């Protein structure tokens, strides 16, 4: 039924778009902007305008009707508010970057799109939270406090408690503290894993590119075989085995998980660094260095690495996202980071059922979304920055 | 034509070799388990008699080499063995828990594999046309407000974890506006429309996850071509931008687009694990996760092999299609 209305509205808009273009042509006495406007573009303008009007209308709907919270409106308002706050914060951050700092950094910020500024800001915030989690969090991550299932929002009338602004979970741990410690655990572990993957994949890749021959063949075929198994499936299989080895020691499971994901992801890093390396070893300056009699270490670290810096850095960002998402997914499936360590994936799984209460208690549904959102926010931020870097280094203008 | 056939046969053989290597990897990985299945599963209550009985039943008293070929032989005949949970019970009591015939791994996997393929099919049916259309539109109106907002949206969709997308969809389409059910309770003999309705939310989640990638690739592939002389020519002839893109740029951009579509279909089949768990969709991904948790090795092995086979097959298809669609690769010098 709703679908029917949407289709009818879309058809009506066709007419409106036509009228809009006609009116534009008449009002501006056939300026090229309206004269050459394809019908699709006119339709796009009208559709955009309608969506904005609808959004504003929804934003100013009452949040409560006869004491019943209008969950849809509230979620929409929150989403819009968060979006606006982030946009303003990113804008201010870019403004700050443009006026403070060295000449180079100012120049960097001047050419930066808003999304990249947003990404950098978020990454900095996450880094600070992760490093100083112990000092920022009001409670410990494993601390079981008085009451369980306190509703987020800190409003006593709605079953909240100002001492726990985001409420507590099923066994009474403070969700805010666990979110903050989750930054330390999840992001920290993902970071260590990515570094490890780069260490393995990068060094082997460059080695294969410089030495070539049977070593290159051996490594490349091994990587081909490993890459033929989907990453998440392979990780799950290996972790099954690892948990059998580790027995009941949960920290061992985490160590094994780091190693497993590092090895699986190092295959992707190997491919890239080998490809980049192969392009570099044929350069004249490598030839010159070889003729000078430089050793393998000098060749790789002083000649090749500086020239492979840009693609590897971008790959580091993307790889970090993949590793981070894999770890979050594994934890979500219950085989990743082990409790009692606070971790976002596990939190989402534990709190997920509260989503079903969203219709009459929107606050309650917020907790699992916050944990999942924390994961999404970081990966989105990293991707924005990587996208900008790739765009900058490729020199694409169109 | 003969050359083309040779390339395809070559790739196929390569795929089979890869699959063989993968089966070795899986087998070796599983055999790295400490002790053996019998001890691992019986745990505390392992009496020597029970362990011997199960070892004999599973053929564990042979060496690894023999076991591998027995397993591989079984797999080739479509026999993946008996789930450990069943084997255990049958070993102890001579019958299954319900007293019926022993359910084999294949019996367990087949209906679920069908469900997963159905889910992947529905998502692909939505995602591929959507992605190509949006890709063409963003290439057509590049650098406009529409293109930029699509860029930000798709980038966010790619980087969000699947369960975040899934829960947001549940929140808006199941809880706040009950359009689709949030649990995909599928069983055999359901009506098609009902089945489609219940598959919709997981399918939409997967669609959001893969559309973005395909769309960005389509856009990039088309824009890459726009600097070519023949596009310039088409523009100078006075063709409309839409016609230039659809008639002149798109056919030449097909190879990368087809590749990325095939790769994303591979992702659809293998990346369903998380989505199936969220929506309790009775597919092979969920079976895999459950088996991983209880360490049901025959099922884990079988699922792994199936996932790998699908993955390799689709990658192979991508490879072959990109050769077929590119005359330069079709007639290598």
- How near does any CA of chain B get to the CA of A165, in Å? 22
% residues pLDDT > 70 (chain B)? 80
pLDDT of residue A132: 83
What pLDDT was estimated at residue B36? 59
CA distance A123 to chain B (A): 14
Q: Is A284 on the interface with B (CB under 8 A)?
A: no
The answer as to whether A331 is a domain residue is yes
Q: What is the DSSP letter of A68?
A: E
- The CATH code of the domain that includes A183 is 1.10.3720.10
Cβ within 8 Å, pair A240-B175? no
**What is the reported pLDDT for A10?**
83
Question: Domain residue spans in chain B?
Answer: 1-103+296-333, 112-293
Q: Is the pLDDT of residue B126 over 70?
A: yes
The answer to whether residues A54 and A202 belong to one domain is: no
Which chain B residue has its CA at the smallest distance from A329's CA?
B274
> Model confidence over A116-148: pLDDT tens digits?
888 889 898 888 888 887 777 777 766 666 666
Q: What per-residue confidence (pLDDT) applies to A197?
A: 92
A367, with CB counted inside 10 A (0-12, 13-18, 19+), is buried
Residue B296: the pLDDT is 75
**Whole-number pLDDT of residue A300:** 81
Q: What is the pLDDT of residues B239-263, one digit of tens each?
A: 888 888 888 888 888 888 888 888 8
List CB contacts (< 8 A) between B30 and chain A: 237, 241
**Lookup: tokens for B80:** 């993946």
**Do B271 and A232 contact (CB within 8 A), yes or no?**
yes
Q: What's the half-sphere exposure (Cβ side, CA atoms, 13 Å) at A215?
A: 11
Name the residue among A41, A245, A398 with its Cβ closest to that of B226: A398
Which CATH architecture describes the domain B112-293? Answer: Orthogonal Bundle (1.10)
Q: What is the predicted ipTM?
A: 0.82
CB contact under 8 A, A333 and B273: yes
Which residues share a beta bridge with A338? none
The position carrying tokens 């959001």 is: B208
Least confident window among A186-195, B105-114, B231-240, B307-316: B105-114
Residue A70 within a domain: no
Please state, in angstroms and rounded to a whole number, the distance separating the CA atoms of residues B263 and B254: 14
- Is position A91 within any domain? no
Rounded-to-integer distance, Cα B59 and Cα B67, Å:
7
- Give yes or no for B170 touching A (CB within 8 A): yes
What is the pTM (predicted TM-score) of this model? 0.84
Tokens of B3: 């050359």
A237 touches chain B (CB under 8 A): yes
Q: Which residues of B touch A244 (CB under 8 A)?
A: 33-34, 40, 295
The mean-pLDDT minimum among A8-22, A66-80, B39-53, B239-253 falls in B39-53
For chain B positions 93-132, those within 8 Å of chain A (CB to CB) are none
Which residue is associated with the tokens 């849809």?
A72
Check pLDDT > 50 for residue A397.
Answer: no
B34 to chain A: nearest residue by CA? A245
Helix (H, G, I), strand (E, B) or coil at A137: coil
Residues A205 and A344 in one domain: yes
Burial (CB count <10 Å: 0-12, 13-18, 19+), residue A77: middle
Q: Virtual CA dihedral for B297, B303, B305, B311, nearest 10 degrees?
A: -150
Q: Is A260 on the interface with B (CB under 8 A)?
A: no
Of A376, A366, A381, the closest CA to residue A153 belongs to A366
Across A87-91, A227-231, B13-17, B117-121, least confident range: A227-231
- Percent of chain A surpassing pLDDT 90: 3
Q: What is the DSSP string of A213-269?
A: HHHHHHHHHHHHHHHTS-HHHHHHHHHHHHHHHHTT-HHHHHHHHHHHHHHHHHHHH
A 315-334 residues inside an 8 A Cβ radius of B: 321, 325, 328-329, 332-334
| Option in A224, A334, A379 nearest B159 (CB) | A379
CB pairs under 8 A between A and B: 162
Count how many domains chain A has: 2
Q: What is the mean pLDDT of chain A?
A: 81
Q: What pLDDT score was predicted for residue A195?
A: 93
Q: Give the nearest chain B residue to A242 (CA atoms).
A: B33
pLDDT given at position A149: 64
Which candidate in B136, B142, B176 is best for mutational testing of the A interface (most A CBs within 10 A)? B176
Structure tokens at B57: 């039943």
Provide, as residue numbers in chain B, all residues whose Cβ is less than 8 Å from the Cβ of A375: 160-161, 164
Contacts of A332 in chain B (CB under 8 A): 161, 163, 274, 277
The top-scoring range by mean pLDDT among A31-40, A206-215, B39-48, B185-194 is A206-215
Torsions phi, psi of A308, nearest 5? -100, 10
Chain B nearest CA to A27, separation (Å):
24
Estimate the crossing angle of helix A213-227 against helix B2-31, to 10 degrees: 80
Structural tokens at position B156: 């966010």
Residue A9 lies in a domain: yes
- Residue A246 within any structural domain of the chain: yes
Query: Which of A44, A238, A383 is opposite residue B158, by nearest beta carbon?
Result: A383
More confidently predicted of B188 and B206: B206
pLDDT tens track for B151-194 = 888 888 888 888 888 888 888 887 777 777 777 777 777 777 77
B103-108 — which CB contacts under 8 Å span 24+ positions?
A: B104/B79, B104/B80, B105/B80, B105/B81, B105/B298, B105/B299, B105/B302, B106/B78, B106/B79, B106/B80, B106/B302, B108/B83, B108/B287, B108/B299
Give A 344-373 residues with CB within 8 A of chain B.
345, 348, 352, 355-356, 358-359, 365, 368-369, 372-373
Flag whether pLDDT at A88 surpasses 60: yes
Residue from the list A236, A334, A368 with its beta carbon closest to the beta carbon of B288: A236
Nearest CA in chain A to B176: A359
B266 interfaces chain A, CB cutoff of 8 Å: yes
Q: Which residue of A has its CA nearest to B277?
A: A333
**Helix (H) or strand (E) run with residue A65 in it:** strand A64-65
- Flag whether residue B40 sits within 8 Å of chain A, measured between CB atoms: yes
Which chain A residue shows the shortest CA-CA distance from B164?
A: A372
Q: Which residue has the higher pLDDT, A67 or A350?
A: A350
Lowest mean pLDDT among A43-52, A345-354, B86-95, B160-169: B86-95
A70 shares contact with chain B (CB less than 8 Å): no
Each residue's pLDDT tens digit, B59-71: 666 677 777 777 7
Domain enclosing residue A196, as ranges: 175-397
Residues of chain B contacting residue A242, judged by C-beta atoms under 8 Å apart: none
Residues of A in contact with B288 (CB under 8 A): 233, 236
Which pLDDT score is estimated for A150? 67
pLDDT band at B37 (very low <50, low <70, confident <90, very high): low
Q: What is the pLDDT of residue A398?
A: 41
Contacts of B146 in chain A (CB under 8 A): 44, 48
Domain boundary among A11, A26, A60: A60
B8-25: pLDDT as tens digits: 888 888 888 888 888 888
The answer to whether A387 faces chain B, any CB pair under 8 Å, is yes
| Mutate which: A79, A237, A247, A352, vs B, most B CBs within 10 A | A237
A220/B contact by beta carbon, under 8 A: no
Residue of A nearest to B241 (CA): A38
Q: Which positions 61-90 of B are in contact with A (Cβ < 8 Å)?
A: none
* pLDDT tens for each residue of A346-388: 888 888 777 777 777 777 777 778 888 888 888 889 888 888 8
Q: Is residue A124 part of a domain?
A: no
Give the whole-angstrom CA distance, residue A96 versus residue A109.
Answer: 9
For residue A111, being part of any structural domain is answered with no
> Using CA of residue A114, residue A116, residue A121, residue A122, what is the dihedral sign?
positive
A28, A60, A92 - which closes a domain? A60
Determine contact: A151 vs chain B, CB below 8 A.
Answer: no
Nearest to A296 by CA among A210, A209, A201, A200: A210
Which of A60, A76, A103 lies at the terminal end of a domain, its last residue?
A60
Other CB atoms within a 10 A radius of the CB of residue A198 amount to 21
Which residues in chain B touch residue A4, judged by CB atoms under 8 angstroms apart? none
Is B304's CB within 8 Å of A229's CB? yes
């Amino acid at each position: 039924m709703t679908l029917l209305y949407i289709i009818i509205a879309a058809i009506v808009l066709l007419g409106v778009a036509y009228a809009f273009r006609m009116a534009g042509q008449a009002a501006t006495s056939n300026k090229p902007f309206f004269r050459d406007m394809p019908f699709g573009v006119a339709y796009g303008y009208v559709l955009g305008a309608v969506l904005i009007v609808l959004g504003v209308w929804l934003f100013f709907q009452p949040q409560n009707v006869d004491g019943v919270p209008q969950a849809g409106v509230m979620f929409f308002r929150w989403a819009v508010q968060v979006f606006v706050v982030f946009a303003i914060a990113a804008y201010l951050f870019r403004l700050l970057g443009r006026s403070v700092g060295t000449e180079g950094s100012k120049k960097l910020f001047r050419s930066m799109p808003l999304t990249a500024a947003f990404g950098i800001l978020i990454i900095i915030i996450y880094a600070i939270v992760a490093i100083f989690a112990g000092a920022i969090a009001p409670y410990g991550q494993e601390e079981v406090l008085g009451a369980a299932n306190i509703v987020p929002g800190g409003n006593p009338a709605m079953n909240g408690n100002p001492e726990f602004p985001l409420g507590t979970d099923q066994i009474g741990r403070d969700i805010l503290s666990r979110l903050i410690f989750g930054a330390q655990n999840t992001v920290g572990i993902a970071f260590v894993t990515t570094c490890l993957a780069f260490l393995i994949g990068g060094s082997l890749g460059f080695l294969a590119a410089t030495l070539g021959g049977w070593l290159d063949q051996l490594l490349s075929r091994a990587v081909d075989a490993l890459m033929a198994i989907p990453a998440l499936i392979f990780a799950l299989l290996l972790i099954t085995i690892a948990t059998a080895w580790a027995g009941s020691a949960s920290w061992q499971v985490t160590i094994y998980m780091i190693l497993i994901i590092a090895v699986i992801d190092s295959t992707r890093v190997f491919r890239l660094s080998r490809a980049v390396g192969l392009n570099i070893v044929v350069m004249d300056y490598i030839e010159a260095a070889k003729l000078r009699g430089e050793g393998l270490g000098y060749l790789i670290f002083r000649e090749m690495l500086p020239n492979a810096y840009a693609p590897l850095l971008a790959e580091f960002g993307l790889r970090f996202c993949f590793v981070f998402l894999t770890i979050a997914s594994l934890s979500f499936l219950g085989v990743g980071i082990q409790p009692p360590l606070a971790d976002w994936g596990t939190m989402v799984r534990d709190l997920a059922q509260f989503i079903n209460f969203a219709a009459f208690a929107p606050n309650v549904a917020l907790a699992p979304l916050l944990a999942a959102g924390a994961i999404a926010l970081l990966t989105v931020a990293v991707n924005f920055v990587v996208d900008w870097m790739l765009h900058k280094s490729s020199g694409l203008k169109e | 034509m003969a050359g083309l056939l040779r390339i395809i046969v070559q790739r196929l053989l390569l795929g089979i070799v890869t699959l063989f290597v993968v089966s070795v990897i899986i087998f070796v990985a599983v055999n790295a388990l400490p002790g053996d299945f019998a001890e691992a599963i019986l745990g505390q209550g392992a009496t020597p008699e029970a362990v011997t009985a199960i070892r004999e039943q599973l053929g564990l008293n042979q060496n690894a080499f023999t076991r591998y070929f027995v397993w591989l032989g079984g797999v080739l005949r479509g026999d993946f063995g008996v789930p450990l949970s069943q084997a255990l019970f049958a070993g102890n009591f001579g019958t299954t828990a319900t007293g019926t015939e022993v359910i084999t791994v294949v019996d367990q996997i087949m209906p679920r594999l069908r469900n997963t393929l159905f889910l992947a099919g529905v998502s692909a049916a939505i995602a591929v046309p959507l992605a190509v259309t949006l890709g063409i539109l963003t290439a057509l109106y590049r650098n406009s407000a529409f293109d930029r907002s699509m860029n930000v949206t798709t980038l966010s969709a790619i980087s969000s974890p699947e369960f975040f997308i899934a829960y947001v969809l549940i929140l808006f389409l199941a809880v706040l506006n009950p359009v689709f059910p949030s649990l995909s309770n599928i069983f055999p003999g359901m009506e098609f429309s009902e089945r489609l309705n219940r598959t919709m939310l997981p399918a939409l989640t997967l669609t959001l996850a893969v559309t973005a990638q395909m769309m960005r690739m389509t856009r990039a592939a088309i824009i890459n071509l726009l600097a070519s002389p023949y596009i310039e020519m088409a523009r100078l002839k006075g063709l409309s931008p839409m016609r230039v893109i659809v008639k002149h740029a798109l056919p030449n951009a097909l190879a990368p687009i087809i590749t990325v579509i095939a790769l994303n279909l591979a992702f659809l089949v293998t990346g369903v694990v998380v989505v199936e768990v969220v929506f309790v969709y009775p597919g092979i991904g969920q079976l895999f996760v459950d088996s991983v948790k209880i360490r049901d090795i025959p099922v884990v092995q079988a699922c792994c092999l199936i996932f790998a086979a699908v993955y390799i097959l689709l990658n192979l298809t991508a490879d072959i299609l990109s050769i077929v669609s590119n005359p330069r690769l079709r007639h290598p010098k």
